[in-house]
Amino acid sequence: MKLTDQEKSMLQGEQGRAKARAMDLLVRYGEALGAERLVETNNVAGAFNASTPSVRELAKKGFDAVYSELNLDSPEIVEVPHMVANTCQLITGIDNERWRIQGISEDLADQQKQAEAYFGRRGINMFATCTPYQVGNVPVKGEHCAWMESSAVVYCNSVLGARTNTEGKESTGAAALTGRIPYWGYHVTENRRGTHLVEVELDVDDIMDWGLLGYYLGEIVDDEIPVLTGRCHQPSLIKLKHFGAAAASSGGVEMYHIPEVTPEARSIEEAFGGNAIKDTLQYGAAERRIAYENLNCATDRNVDFVMLGCPHNSIDQVSLIASLLEGRKISLNTQLWVHTPRALREVADRNGYTSIIGEAGGVVMSDTCPAISRHMPRGTKVVATDSAKQAHYLPAITGVSAWFGSVRDCIEAALTGRWNGGLA
Ligand code: F3S
C-alpha cells in the first residue's frame, strides 16, 4: 500500500504509539482488501463503549486497555489521545437513565458511564444512536466517512451521497485516531453504480410499505445496488431510513438509487453510470405479501412487548406515537418501549411527548435497542414492531416470535395486548 509521508510518520511511531498501532491496523486491513492507498476522513461513527459483561475484566485494566484491544486490535496497551477526526458514538447496550427497566445491573451501567466520560473527553461525541444523521452528523455528498452500523451506512451512501463501507469497531477506532481509512469499495465512484433495475408496480408510500419493499429487495439483490423506478411516492427521511434498514437486514444492501430523489441519480442512466443492468425485478402485490409473511413469524396473537424505534425514531415519529396514546392506557399484559436518540429524547421531554407516553404506560428509551442490548422486558415471548429490521433480528437473536406492521397496528397491540394487524 502506498502511504504519504504523514502516514509513514504515524506508522513509524513518530506521532505516538496509539497512532502507530492505528496505522498498522489500517495497513493490514487495507492490504487484505486490496486497497492501494488510504483516503482522508473527518467523519467517523463507531462503537467505543464498554457496555457488555464480557468487557468487565478488560475494563478493570482501564479504558486505554479497552480501546487498545477492541478498537485497535492491539496487544500493546496504548494511551488513547484525543481523536483526530470528528467522531461519534453509535448505539450502545445500555440506556444511561433507564437501565433498571432494561434489567441491566448497576455495575455494568456504571462501567458504561465511566467509559463514556473517558472517551468523551478524548473527542468521541456521545450521540449514542444508530441514526447519527438525525442528530447533527450529516456528511455532505462525496465526503469520505468511516461508519459502522448497516442502517446508517446505507443511509450515508444512498441518501446523503457521502461515501463509506460498513466498517468495524477496529477500523473506526483506527480511523478516528489517524483521519484515514482504506480507499476501496464504496469510496470508489465506479463501485457506486446501479446493478439491478426494480420496477415498483404498486404504490409504496407509507413507512410499512417502504420497509416491506426494502426487505423484499435485500433478499433478492443481497449486496448489490438496486435502482428503483415506478410507483415509489416521494419518500422522506423516515421512509428511507426504514427502507434502507430493511434492505440491509434481509440482504447486505449498502447503497441504492432512486432517480430524481437520491443525489447520485438524476436519471436512471446516471444511476447505472454505464453499467449493464444485471437483472430487472418487478415488485407488486405478490412480492409485498412474501415480504410480509417472511417478517411475521408469530402465531400467538397475545403480544408481550411492543418495540418502536428501529432505526431510532425521529421526533415526528415520537410525536405520532404520543398522539396515538394520549389519554389511553396500554394493556397490563404488554410493555411498550419507544426508542429515540438521546438528543431527541430531550426534545420529546420538553414537548411533553415523554410524559404522554409514560402516562399511557410506555417508556421512552435512548442510547440502545433490544437487538443490540439483548434486553427486553422479562418473559417476552411475542414482540410487535413497526421495524422490518427488528422483526428480522429479534427472533434470530433472542428466540422470540415477531409481528411486523404499521405504527398504528403496534400501538393497537400495546393498548389491547393483541395483534390485529394485517396487510391492507
Ligand atoms: Fe438501530 Fe438497533 Fe435497529 S441499532 S437500526 S435500533 S437494530
CATH number of the domain where residue 173 is located: 3.30.499
Q: How many CB atoms within 10 Å of residue 342?
A: 19
Alpha helix locations (H) across 38-168?
Answer: 56-60, 63-66, 72, 99-102, 106-121, 150-158
| Residue 34: exposure state from Cβ atoms within 10 A (0-12, 13-18, ≥19) | exposed
Nearest C-alpha neighbor of 322 from the set 414, 230, 213: 414
pLDDT at 311: 98
> Whose CA is closest to atom 1 on ligand 1?
311
Extract the residue ranges of the chain whose pLDDT is less than 50: none
On whether both 32 and 171 belong to a single domain, the answer is yes
List residues near ligand 1 (CB under 6 A).
91, 130, 151, 245, 310-312, 339, 369, 371-372, 389-390, 393
> Whose CA is closest to atom 2 on ligand 1?
369
Where would I find the beta strands (DSSP E) of 246-359?
A: 279-283, 305-308, 335-339
On whether both 254 and 401 belong to a single domain, the answer is no
On whether both 185 and 202 belong to a single domain, the answer is no
For 300-336, the pLDDT digits (tens) are 999 999 999 999 999 999 999 999 999 999 999 999 9
Domain that holds residue 262: 193-285
On whether both 44 and 175 belong to a single domain, the answer is yes
Mutate to test the pocket of ligand 1, among 88, 385, 389 (most ligand atoms within 8 A of CB): 389
- Examine the fold and report which residue of 261, 285, 309 is the final residue of a domain before the chain moves on: 285
- Assess whether the previous peptide bond of 311 is cis (omega < 30° from 0): yes
On whether both 313 and 231 belong to a single domain, the answer is no
pLDDT at 51: 83
Structurally, the chain folds into a number of domains equal to: 3
Domain contains 364:
yes
Domain contains 143:
yes
Q: Is residue 332 a contact partner of residue 348, using CB atoms and an 8 Å limit? A: no
> Whose CA is closest to atom 3 on ligand 1?
310
pLDDT at 123: 98
On whether both 185 and 207 belong to a single domain, the answer is no
CB burial of 292-305 (b: ≥16 within 10 Å; e: otherwise) equals bebbbbbeeeebbb
pLDDT at 252: 97
On whether both 304 and 269 belong to a single domain, the answer is no
